[in-house]
Amino acid sequence: MSRYTPAVAPHRYRVRFVPVVQKDSSEEERYLQCMPDSGEECETEERKRPHQLRTHLYCWCDKESLSQYSCGILATDYVIEITIKPWDPSDTRNADVACGTLVNIHPFHADEEGTVYFRTQASLRQYSMIEAAHLTRQETKELCQQEVQRLENEVQLLKEKIKAKEECGI
């Protein structure tokens, strides 16, 4: 998430690795399939080595997986769930990337190619910078209108309190 502009802060997302298990497997088989191999060939510290990313070369984990496969050991498949948490303007950790001080709307995060996507109706839609700017203006306008309405209501209440005090002779 650090490759987005601006980078997505760690408190705003969660990554989970969910093992893929067969429907007809027993509870014990599922448990064994989901547990990391505790054999001698699988050292815990050795598995914490950094991975090679964005390269044409094989990473150590790819080589290890090929080696296990050649020995008849099938690696467990996983679904990687990435959950993006909703924008919380009141969270102080979001202050660095928030857009604006009055309305504090969520930032847009562009990918490595400068493209912005939005999740809409169970799909991803690519937006141009012009469309993103239009959406920002519209959202800002709506939030400012809400704030203006709140302030007008507050002024009206204060006027009513002042009038009530004047009528009482206070």
pLDDT of residue 170: 65
How high is the pLDDT of residue 120?
78
Q: How far apart are CA 40 and CA 21, in angstroms?
A: 25
Sign of the CA dihedral with 60 first, then 61, 62, and 64 last: positive
Q: Is the pTM of this model over 0.75?
A: no
Q: Consecutive sets of 10 residues in the chain, 170 residues long: mean pLDDT of each?
A: 80 88 81 62 71 88 88 84 84 73 72 82 83 83 88 93 83
